[in-house]
Structure 1
Amino acid sequence: MKQVRIPEDRIGVIIGEGGETKQDFEELTDCEVKIEGNVVKVEGEAFDELMAEKAVKAVGRGFNPDKALQLVEKDVGFHIINIKDFTQNSSRQEELKGRVIGRDGETRRHIEKEANIDLSVYGTTVALIGKGQNIQVAVEALNMLLNGSTHSTAYDYLERNQSKIVR
């Protein structure tokens, strides 16, 4: 059995209207899903538990269930960047989140499109879902932004590495 603690405001997302989403999780992962407070327990075969655990973590990091359940597919990965690793100053963390999101979400959308990944900024984390090599390219661009590079430098990096992106 795997246990995942997620933010309380994301528990309702796991359950879904009338328990629909929880049922979808159970069907797609072949695991039993139990919720106790803000802890989600998944129980099944070891590999299935691992897939379910990643999907639950993805919902906990702000993804909608449909995007999170992509993680049960072959070759789809999940990666979390903690903004706290770049600064302990909470006002600076908000600035860095803003750099990743961009004006009206423009930077986030640009990275998603160019790297062919899904990206969520939630709390002090940036989470990514996608093919492994796509995540690697996106993480490098995000690290550039979080370390203070200009947006154009990160965008240029994404452009130069299009040959590594799986469509």
Structure 2
Amino acid sequence: MPNTEYLKIPRERVGVVIGKNGITKDEIENLTKTKITIDSEAGTVAISPTEETEDPLSVWKARYIVKAIGRGFNPEIAVKLMGDETILEIINLPDYVGKNKKAVLRQKARIIGKEGRTKDIITDMTGVDISIYGKTVAIIGDMEQIHIAKEAVEMILSGVRHKTVYAFLEKKTRDMKIKQFHRIAKDETDLE
């Protein structure tokens, strides 16, 4: 079928995509006006437009929602990808640290931090959602938020001290708030 998107997700995440009695799959199909076909054994997913599909990006959005769930996000967070400004960024840890399992685990632990502190700080300061699953770090947010969060994660992966990463996040968050303030002030001025 034309415009059908295919992807593969971890088999252990197939049940989350389907949901209890198929409710999650049905919800994604209803939101995006698409048809989702899942091969539970292989972990393959096919997403096709339906006759009801109006938005040309619906299949693409459904694909990214399913991909986000496959990368460890719960469905409630993954459906944020329906927003026009919201995107999914996936960082493949072996690209940064090689295929050594211990190195990947060590870097995952550094990104999570003691009792989840580092992950929480990145999430709170940038406004993104982060999932650390398998050999990946997945981030959901708008372009500016993701850019800052990804840079913070890459700093950690390159061995930068957590304290330095937190200072970077504080500065970037402050800059982001100033930009927002100026945008709002400009919009209000334009309305007058």
- Tell me whether 1:13 sits opposite 2:13 in the alignment: no
Partner SS, residue 161 of structure 1: helix
Unaligned runs of 5+ in 2: 181-192
- Structure 2 distance, partners of 1:59, 1:105, is 20
Output one character per residue of 1:81-120: Cα deviation in whole Å (capped at 9) or x when no partner: 0110111221011000000011111111110000100000
- Structure 2 distance, partners of 1:155, 1:19, is 41
- Tell me whether 1:43 sits opposite 2:48 in the alignment: yes
The count of corresponding residues between Structure 1 and Structure 2 is 167
Bigger relative contact order, structure 1 or 2 (CA pairs below 8 A, ≥6 apart): 1
Unaligned runs of 5+ in 1: none
- Structure 1 distance, partners of 2:36, 2:101, is 34
- Tell me whether 1:151 sits opposite 2:156 in the alignment: no
Aligned to 2:119: 108
- Tell me whether 1:140 sits opposite 2:145 in the alignment: no
- Structure 2 distance, partners of 1:104, 1:91, is 20
Aligned to 2:66: 56
Shift of 1:164: 2.2
Q: How does 1:66-77 map to 2 (within 5 A)?
A: 66-77=76-87
- Tell me whether 1:128 sits opposite 2:139 in the alignment: yes
Aligned to 2:176: 164
- Structure 2 distance, partners of 1:71, 1:13, is 17
- Structure 1 distance, partners of 2:115, 2:88, is 25
Output one character per residue of 1:8-39: Cα deviation in whole Å (capped at 9) or x when no partner: 00000001011110110001111111111311
Matching residue's letter, 2:166: Y
Instruction: Provide TM-score, normalisation by structure 2.
Output: 0.84
4+ aligned runs moved over 3 Å, structure 1: none
- Structure 1 distance, partners of 2:64, 2:25, is 14
Overall identity of the aligned pairs, in %: 36
Q: Name whichever of 134-143 and 41-50 sits farther off.
A: 41-50
- Structure 2 distance, partners of 1:21, 1:54, is 14
- Structure 2 distance, partners of 1:28, 1:151, is 39
- Tell me whether 1:83 sits opposite 2:93 in the alignment: yes
- Structure 2 distance, partners of 1:164, 1:27, is 35
- Structure 1 distance, partners of 2:47, 2:80, is 17
- Structure 2 distance, partners of 1:16, 1:68, is 13
Bigger radius of gyration among the two: 2
